[in-house]
Amino acid sequence: MSSAAAPRVSADDALDPRAMREPLPNAWYCVGQASAIAGGKMRAVALNGEQVVVGRARDGALFALRDRCPHRGMALSKGKFDGDTLMCPFHGWRFGTDGRCRDVPTLSEHDASDFSRIAVQRFPIVESAGFLWVNPHLGPSDPGAVPAVPSLDFEPAGCLVLELEVEASFDLTTLSLVDPGHVAFVHDTWWFRPSKELREKVKTFQPVPHGFVMTSHATTTSSPVYRLLGGVPEVEIEFRLPGVRLERIKAGTKRVANYTFATPMSPNRTMLTNALYWSMPALNLLKPVARPMMRQFLTQDQQVLQHAQAGLDRKPTMVLLGQGDLPSQWYFRLKREALEAAREGRPFANPLVHQELRWRS
């Protein structure tokens, strides 16, 4: 009994090289804090070259629509929202939160024009960990094939959020979330890295759905940040597509989570969002001190990424070398697998394996 020959892949079936240079089309991206649209509000956000208006209806339901009236292209976010319909400020066209046109007030009662089929593009939107997440994919989607939206495994007693726009590509910004080598040089501050000596690091990584995780390990208590928790904290750091870094810290019953999200705004502009959560109410007293420290940390990333982007604009090549650069290579492998799986209509298969890495930092 002979086995069937494997199907040949034609040039038309090959992955478009341009896709690897763009953010994943079918994924959840952070578009801001959920509190920004509390009380039936709406706001405009930029997502991967698209303008989107997100909001919360009177009944609490979320919506995300293309921020463009199909009549003359006016931004719907510039108009009024009554909790049920959005009114374009140009000619008063009204749209429901489902995107369907509800009314064209300029039409005469004798005009037989049918506006019932006119609609604004809708996008999936969910709320998790205090943030709004939008998937800009326009084609059919299998929910099981999309990386999961970040969530919290504890009830936070406090939270501190900072957002910073970076004039750099989504890929370059996302690589900073998995790059351990830059920490000693970019974030060389007394409160984060008191020791100026490079030390050998040995960490174990293993694959998880749509990403990888640096498995939980006991860490040093020399850092002032860790010292606040008492005991010997255990740290687990997960990266998952499309650009999400989840750092979870445990010390007994105490919990801290440091989440960072990259959101593509345009080809060379990325929003970097950092959210710090904690379970200890007493840490709320440190917010006035923690905020400028977090901003300093993110600004350091912002500045170095913008300078690096200028260099890549002149010559768009990177040399990834050594085990410290393997997580960056893994990011591109994961991204390619996600694109190829979607193109071939098959489940995502994580190409990574359990591995121990060594580098100096």
Structural domains counted in the chain: 2
Do 248 and 334 reside in the same domain of the chain? yes
Of 90, 115, 139, the residue that ends a domain is 139
What is the distance between the alpha carbons of residues 17 and 121, in angstroms, rounded to a whole number?
A: 27
* Predicted structure pTM score: 0.90
What is the distance between the alpha carbons of residues 124 and 62, in angstroms, rounded to a whole number?
A: 9
Considering 184-188, 227-231, 267-271, the range whose residues carry the highest mean pLDDT is 267-271
Structure token digits, residue 29: 């991206």
Q: 337-356: per-residue pLDDT in tens?
A: 999 999 998 999 999 999 99
Do 65 and 181 reside in the same domain of the chain? no
Tell whether the model's pLDDT for residue 301 goes beyond 70.
yes
- In 67-123, DSSP assigns E strands to 80-81, 85-87, 94-96, 101-103
* Higher-pLDDT residue of 346, 361: 346
Domain membership of residue 145 (yes or no) is no
Domain membership of residue 4 (yes or no) is no
Do 105 and 157 reside in the same domain of the chain? no
Q: Kindly state the helix (H) or strand (E) to which residue 227 belongs, with its residue range.
A: helix 224-227
Domain membership of residue 7 (yes or no) is no
What is the distance between the alpha carbons of residues 144 and 198, in angstroms, rounded to a whole number?
A: 42
Residue 75 carries which DSSP code?
-
Domain span holding position 135: 24-139
CATH number assigned to the domain comprising residue 83: 2.102.10.10
Do 118 and 165 reside in the same domain of the chain? no
What is the distance between the alpha carbons of residues 201 and 34, in angstroms, rounded to a whole number?
A: 38
Do 325 and 216 reside in the same domain of the chain? yes
Confirm if 240 and 214 have CB atoms less than 8 A apart: no
Do 102 and 251 reside in the same domain of the chain? no
**Cis preceding-peptide flag for 242 (omega within 30 of 0):** yes
Q: What is the largest CA-CA distance in the chain?
A: 81
What is the distance between the alpha carbons of residues 85 and 57, in angstroms, rounded to a whole number?
A: 8
Do 195 and 234 reside in the same domain of the chain? yes
Do 193 and 259 reside in the same domain of the chain? yes
Do 169 and 133 reside in the same domain of the chain? no
